[in-house]
Amino acid sequence: MFKRLRKKIFGYNKNIEYYAMNGILFTMVSVLSRSYAIKFLDRLGGDAFHYSLFNALPGFVAIFTTIPGMLIIQKGTSKKKMLSIFFYISRSFPLFLAAVPFLPKGIQPIVFVIIYGMMNFPESISATSLQDYTGDVFTPAERADAMTLRNQLSQISQISVSILVGFILSLSTDNLIVIRMYQIFIVLSFLIGLKEIGYINKMKPHLNLETHKEAKGLTLVQSIKECFSNKEYRIFLACSLIFHFGWQMGWPLFNVYQISFLKADEMWLTIINAVSSLFMVISFAYWGKIIKKKGFEFATAFATFGMALTPLFYFLTRTLLQNTLMQPATGFFTAGITIVILGSLLETSSDNNRTMSVALHATLTSVTLSIAPLIGNMIHSEFGIQTALLVTSGFRMLGFSAFFLRYLLKRKSKQK
Provide the residue-wise pLDDT of the chain in tens; the chain has 416 residues. Answer: 445 555 555 556 788 888 888 889 999 999 898 888 888 898 888 887 888 788 778 878 888 887 787 777 766 656 778 888 889 999 999 999 999 999 998 899 999 999 999 988 888 888 878 878 887 888 777 877 888 888 888 888 888 888 888 889 888 888 899 999 999 999 999 999 999 999 988 888 865 544 445 555 566 777 788 888 889 999 999 999 999 999 999 888 888 888 888 888 878 887 888 888 888 888 888 888 898 888 889 999 999 999 999 999 999 999 999 999 999 999 999 999 988 998 899 889 887 778 788 888 988 988 888 888 889 888 998 999 999 999 999 999 999 999 999 999 888 877 66
pLDDT for the residue numbered 250? 87
Structural domain includes residue 152 = yes
Q: Which string of b and e fits 20-41 if b means at least 16 CB within 10 Å?
A: bbbbbbbbbbbbbbbbbbbbbb
- What distance in Å separates the CA atoms of residue 392 and residue 376, rounded to the nearest whole number? 7
Structural domain includes residue 212 = no
Full domain range(s) for residue 149: 9-206+223-410
Structural domain includes residue 375 = yes
Structural domain includes residue 211 = no
Structural domain includes residue 393 = yes
pLDDT for the residue numbered 404? 96
Structural domain includes residue 350 = yes
Structural domain includes residue 3 = no
Counting the structural domains of the chain, the total is 1
- Percent of residues in the chain assigned helix, strand, coil, to nearest 5: 85, 0, 15
- What distance in Å separates the CA atoms of residue 46 and residue 116, rounded to the nearest whole number? 13
Structural domain includes residue 286 = yes
- What distance in Å separates the CA atoms of residue 304 and residue 244, rounded to the nearest whole number? 10
Domain CATH for 114: 1.20.1250.20
